[in-house]
């Protein structure tokens, strides 16, 4: 059986998937690593173990008699750089993107290059400290200049994983174009500061995201940022304008048909831009809804003395929704027509007002759960509306955990009555996207249907 192997590296789980020529999932391996400490005592990835895991896992698959690996690709989380020296080996830890950023250094950077608002608009990158991966290199230059001098290339994590197999250091636009502070979106090139600070010398050449290198008869891709990879199955399956709400800890609304420049107002509402694997900018907005859902379900379960697992069994009850709205306060602002937006910073700091609500007003776990989802939906609708902007979107796809949540999906369909709403499912969308990105390099077959849809409304 001819297969493509995809390494899908998340913060928690490290996975290896095998897809056959029809992109059916035929193999899966999952591992988890303990964090280690960087030189400051902060948590970071165990880069040595991750490196060994990729090499050993690939060697095992290559040695199997029941499959023939024809191609390999990688997807991984963003905002993470691996710094390699002249000998091709890492010279620094894989710093955590949650690592605290020195305030004085951040202030110096933005004062030098035009201020937070101007630079954020140019780079489509909210001010996020270490989560802006370019800022990690800026910190190294001024806090550890001797380390900066030793760096030959700083590779985003997906490209480092590819480098382990190909020995070829490259950069990919999906990793560069993801709130890194590196890319000037209006000018479609690296920002001025990248050149003035000498950071450009540490960045490998950019190659197309579908590039694949022949390594002993196996075509090896350059890797992709996970959020951009997850879009690829939809981009290849649907031509009419649509929005994808990718749900997990964050709910990210992505509109590949909206390439309008980011405005200061949008930036305040936790909007940003990504770059697709085709090299095109697209508007996106973020909401911390998955995290809030998980936290509040625990609060509800504790109050109503039941298992948190009860949330999975709650069926949508329209009469409950109508009654809660009639009481006032819950989900009152839901609906796309009003054009409301989140309060400044709302996406990153909180998702809704539910956490401040007393639970005595609810008669049951099910009723309270509907209230929680109504509050979350109020914010979700306003977040998603930010990226719609007269782009003719006719469909909204929801993948991830909320796509399986009937209450969420019914409320979303109610909130967008003029748009068709679908729960979308496929086996491992991010890994599937990385596989599809290099389809032409290893697979002569035609692409079939890879996305399953369930309509609501």
User: What integer best gives the mean pLDDT of the chain?
Assistant: 92
The verdict on 194 and 51 lying in the same domain is: yes
Q: Domain boundary at 192, 222, 252, which?
A: 222
Side-chain half-sphere of 325: how many Cα atoms within 13 Å? 15
Indicate whether 66 belongs to any domain: yes
The verdict on 263 and 173 lying in the same domain is: no
Indicate whether 448 belongs to any domain: no
**pLDDT score recorded for residue 339:** 37
Indicate whether 449 belongs to any domain: no
Side-chain half-sphere of 385: how many Cα atoms within 13 Å? 20
Q: What percent of the chain has pLDDT over 90?
A: 82
Taking residues 254-264, what's their average pLDDT? 92
Indicate whether 447 belongs to any domain: no
Residue 260 corresponds to which tokens in the numbers above? 């309008």
Indicate whether 202 belongs to any domain: yes
Q: Which residues contact 343 (CB under 8 A, 6 or more apart)?
A: none
User: Which band of pLDDT confidence, cut at 50, 70 and 90, is reported for residue 46?
Assistant: very high
The verdict on 386 and 247 lying in the same domain is: yes
User: Which band of pLDDT confidence, cut at 50, 70 and 90, is reported for residue 195?
Assistant: very high
Indicate the Cα dihedral angle 88, 90, 91, 96, nearest 10°: 150
Indicate whether 355 belongs to any domain: yes
C-alpha separations of 438 from 219, 257, 432 in Å: 8, 23, 11
Indicate whether 441 belongs to any domain: no
- Give yes or no for a contact between 179 and 185, defined as CB atoms under 8 angstroms apart: no
CATH of the domain at 138: 3.30.420.40
| pLDDT, tens digit, 9 for 90 and up, residues 130-143 | 999 999 999 999 99
The verdict on 404 and 289 lying in the same domain is: yes
The verdict on 260 and 192 lying in the same domain is: no
User: Which band of pLDDT confidence, cut at 50, 70 and 90, is reported for residue 426?
Assistant: confident
Q: Domain boundary at 206, 222, 238, which?
A: 222
**pLDDT score recorded for residue 350:** 52
| pLDDT, tens digit, 9 for 90 and up, residues 132-172 | 999 999 999 999 999 999 999 999 999 999 999 999 999 99
The verdict on 168 and 281 lying in the same domain is: no
Indicate whether 82 belongs to any domain: yes
- Give yes or no for a contact between 376 and 355, defined as CB atoms under 8 angstroms apart: no
- Give yes or no for a contact between 374 and 381, defined as CB atoms under 8 angstroms apart: no
- The structure's pTM equals 0.86
CA dist 329 and 281 (Å) reads 38
The verdict on 212 and 227 lying in the same domain is: no
Range of the domain at 130: 2-222
Q: Does residue 216 surpass a pLDDT of 50?
A: yes
**pLDDT score recorded for residue 429:** 87
Task: Provide the terminal-to-terminal Cα distance of the chain, rounded to the nearest Å.
Answer: 41
The verdict on 218 and 324 lying in the same domain is: no
Residue 452 corresponds to which tokens in the numbers above? 């399953």
| pLDDT, tens digit, 9 for 90 and up, residues 49-99 | 999 999 999 999 999 999 999 999 999 999 999 999 999 999 999 999 999
Q: Does residue 344 surpass a pLDDT of 80?
A: no
The verdict on 243 and 392 lying in the same domain is: yes
CA dist 49 and 195 (Å) reads 33
User: Which band of pLDDT confidence, cut at 50, 70 and 90, is reported for residue 257?
Assistant: very high
User: Which band of pLDDT confidence, cut at 50, 70 and 90, is reported for residue 351?
Assistant: low
**pLDDT score recorded for residue 335:** 41
**pLDDT score recorded for residue 348:** 42
Taking residues 257-267, what's their average pLDDT? 90
Number of structural domains in the chain = 2
CA dist 259 and 266 (Å) reads 13
Over the chain, what HEC string results? CEEEEEEEECCCCEEEEEECCCCCEEEEEEECCCCEECCCCCEEECHHHHHHHHHHHHHHHHHCCCCEEEEEEEEECCCCEEEECCCCCECCCECCCCCCCCHHHHHHHHHHCCCHHHHHHHHCCCCCHHHCHHHHHHHHHHHCHHHHHHCCEEEEHHHHHHHHHHCCCCEEHHHHCCCCCCEECCCCEECHHHHHCCHHHHCCCEECCCCEEEECCEEEECCEEHHHHHHHHHHHHCCCCEEEEEECCCEEEEECCCCCCCCHHHHHCCEEEEECCCCCEEEEEEECHHHHHHHHHHHHHHHHCCCHHHHHHCCCCHHHHHHHHHHCCCCCCCCCCCCCCCCCCHHHHCCCCHHHCCHHHCCCHHHHHHHHHHHHHHHHHHHHHHHHCCCCCCEEEEEEHHHHCHHHHHHHHHHCCCCEEEEEECCCHHHHHHHHHCHHHHCCCCCCCCCEEEEEC
The verdict on 110 and 156 lying in the same domain is: yes
The verdict on 275 and 176 lying in the same domain is: no
The verdict on 214 and 295 lying in the same domain is: no
């Amino acid at each position: 059986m001819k297969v493509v192997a995809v390494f899908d590296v998340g913060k928690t789980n490290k996975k290896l998937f095998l897809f056959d020529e029809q992109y059916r999932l035929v193999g899966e391996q999952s591992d988890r690593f303990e964090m280690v400490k960087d030189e400051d005592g902060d948590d970071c990835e165990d880069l040595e173990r991750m490196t060994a895991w990729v090499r050993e896992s690939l060697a095992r698959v290559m040695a199997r008699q029941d499959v023939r690996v024809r191609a390999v690709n990688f997807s991984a989380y963003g905002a993470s750089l691996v710094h390699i020296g002249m000998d091709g080996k890492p010279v620094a830890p894989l710093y955590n993107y949650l690592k605290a950023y020195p305030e004085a250094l951040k202030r110096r950077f933005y004062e030098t290059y035009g201020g937070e608002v101007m630079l954020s608009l140019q780079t489509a990158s909210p001010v996020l400290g270490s989560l802006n991966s370019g800022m990690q290199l800026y910190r190294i230059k001024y806090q550890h200049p001797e380390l900066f001098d030793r760096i030959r290339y700083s590779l985003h994590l997906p490209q480092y994983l590819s480098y382990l197999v190909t020995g070829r250091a490259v950069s990919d636009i999906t990793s560069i174009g993801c709130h890194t502070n590196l890319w000037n979106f209006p000018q479609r090139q690296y920002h001025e500061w990248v050149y003035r600070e000498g950071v450009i010398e540490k960045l490998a050449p950019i190659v197309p995201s579908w590039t694949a290198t022949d390594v002993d008869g196996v075509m090896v891709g350059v890797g992709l940022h996970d959020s951009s990879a997850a879009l690829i199955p939809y981009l290849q399956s649907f031509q009419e304008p649509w929005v994808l709400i990718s749900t997990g800890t964050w709910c990210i609304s992505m509109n590949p048909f909206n390439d309008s420049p980011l405005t200061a107002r949008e930036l305040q509402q936790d909007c940003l831009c990504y770059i697709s694997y085709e090299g095109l900018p697209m508007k996106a907005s973020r909401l911390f809804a998955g995290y809030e859902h998980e936290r509040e379900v625990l609060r509800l379960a504790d109050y109503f003395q039941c298992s948190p697992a009860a949330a999975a069994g709650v069926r949508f009850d329209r009469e409950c929704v109508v009654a809660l709205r009639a009481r006032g306060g819950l989900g009152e602002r839901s609906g796309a027509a009003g054009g409301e937006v989140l309060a400044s910073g709302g996406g990153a700091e909180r998702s809704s007002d539910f956490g401040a609500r007393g639970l005595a007003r609810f008669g049951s776990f099910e009723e309270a759960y509907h209230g929680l989802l109504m509050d979350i939906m109020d914010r979700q609708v306003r977040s998603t509306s930010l990226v719609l902007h007269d782009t003719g979107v006719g469909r909204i796809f929801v993948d991830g955990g909320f796509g399986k949540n009937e209450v969420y999906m019914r409320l979303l369909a109610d909130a967008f009555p003029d748009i068709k709403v679908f729960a979308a499912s496929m086996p491992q969308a991010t890994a599937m996207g990385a596989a599809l990105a290099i389809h032409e390099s290893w697979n002569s077959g035609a692409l079939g249907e890879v996305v399953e849809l369930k309509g609501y409304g």
